[in-house]
Amino acid sequence: MKNLSRLLIMIVCLCGLTVPGVQAQDFTSWLEQLRIDARSAGISQKTLDAALADIEAPQPRVIERDRKQPEKTQSLEDYVAARVSKERIAEGRTMLRRYATWLDRIESQYRVQRRFIVALWGGESNYGRHTGKRPVIQSLATLAYDGRRSDYFRKELLEALHILEDGHIPLAQMKGSWAGAMGPFQFMPTSYRHYAVDADGDGRIDLWDSVPDALASAANYLAKARWKNDQTWGRLVKLPKKFDYSLTGLTNNLSLSRWQALGVRRNNGYALPRRDLQASLILPDGRSGPAYLVYSNFKSLRRWNRSNSFAVTVGTLSDSYAVKK
């Protein structure tokens, strides 16, 4: 079996699925060092023996998925279209009605508009349909051993072991995405530790099977990301023919009145809102693609996922829930 493990690692390297800086250490030796570090971090031998029992080699498919993330390979138009469908909009409206009581409580406590919580749910997992079926520990061990973001995923792996140690979820049920993201909102283990809450009061923080826990945890995450519940996320806009593109980018903030004076208009040609707000202009697909004025909440969404495409998709889906009269 050890020879098979080494062969798999060689195949991954030969296929170009690694990058400069990949671990030179043998995986078995690396795993032993992980055990030492985990024990020092307070993980029991019992938890380690159970969690690492079946891990013998990195998974090439996980590394391949890491290299081909859709946020980096799809245009904004394609990315949004795949996630803001008529079916997803309709189901989002259903979820807003179905969980209205819980969303009332959560919105009041965390001061995050419910439509954004539900849009994150829809965008991350299609309302819980696609939460991932891969063993989280295996995925994180693979990515922690891989050289591209090993420090980041090693930290996530240790946090995942803490979740098991604390008894929040049995090992057999700890399934997630190729990246180790868990539950309907695809929380990484560090996000679980920092933001997950027990909303239903059963003594467990269950982001896999408790919808109240999942909804409240998502709201808590955005609240800690400095969400402003008196604002939206942004809007699609039109630019004048002669526009200074040096003004674009998230680091450039101008007042709405200033953008108005520069000739920027809503996508329907109407004037921008008359509010004392700062906004940035972004062009996710370059000058030939759509233009968006985005507010502070857009940056909060990017703390969840550092992708303009992701944040635009969540904002667009949240806007779509409004029933047209």
Catalytic residue selected from 91, 124, 156, 159: 124
Question: What pLDDT does 324 receive?
Answer: 55
The answer to whether residue 313 sits within a structural domain is no
If asked whether residues 250 and 138 sit together in one domain, one would say: no
The verdict on 136 and 280 lying in the same domain is: no
Element (H, E) at 48: helix 45-52
Element (H, E) at 176: strand 175-176
The pTM for the full model equals 0.87
Label residue 195 by pLDDT band (50, 70, 90): very high
With pLDDT > 70 as the criterion, what percentage of the chain qualifies? 90
Task: Say yes or no: 40 and 155 in one domain.
Answer: yes
Q: Say if residue 34 is in the same domain as residue 142.
A: yes
Q: What is the pLDDT of residue 87?
A: 96
Confidence of residue 67 (pLDDT cuts 50, 70, 90): confident
Task: Enter the tokens of residue 158.
Answer: 């240790």
Range of the domain at 289: 234-294
Question: Does residue 172 lie in a domain region?
Answer: yes
Question: 124 an active-site residue?
Answer: yes
**44 in a structural domain:** yes
Mean pLDDT of all residues in 142-151? 91
CATH number for the domain spanning 174: value is 1.10.8.350
On whether residue 158 sits in a domain, the answer given is yes
Give yes or no: residues 158 and 28 share one domain: yes
CA 4 to chain centre: 34
Host H or E run for residue 279:
strand 278-282
Q: How far is 141 from 209, CA to CA, in rounded Å?
A: 24
Are residues 37 and 142 both part of a single domain? yes
Q: Residue 141 and residue 150: Cα distance in Å, rounded? A: 9
DSSP letter for each residue of 137-158:
HHHHHHHHHSSSSHHHHHHHHH
142 and 54, same structural domain? yes
Same domain, 144 and 290: no
Residue 23 in domain: yes
105 in a domain, yes or no? no
Residue 2: band (very low, low, confident or very high) from pLDDT cuts 50, 70, 90: very low
pLDDT at 74: 82
Q: How many domains does the chain have?
A: 2
Q: Are residues 170 and 43 in the same domain?
A: yes
Return d(Cα 81, Cα 229) in angstroms, integer.
Answer: 26
Tell me, yes or no, whether 203 lies in a domain. Answer: no
* Judgement on whether residues 161 and 13 belong to the same structural domain of the protein: yes
On whether residue 241 sits in a domain, the answer given is yes
What pLDDT does residue 107 have? 98
End position of a domain, from candidates 145, 165, 181: 181
Computed over every residue of the chain, the mean pLDDT equals 91
Contact partners, residue 103, CB within 8 Å, separation at least 6: 96, 114, 117, 118, 215
Please tell me the predicted confidence (pLDDT) of residue 66: 87
Q: Are residues 36 and 142 in the same domain?
A: yes
- Please write the tens of the pLDDT for every residue from 69-111: 766 678 898 999 999 999 999 999 999 999 999 999 999 999 9
Could you read off the pLDDT of 220-245 as tens digits, one per residue?
A: 999 999 999 999 999 999 999 999 99
Do 157 and 247 lie in a common domain?
Answer: no
- Per-residue pLDDT for 24 more than 80? no
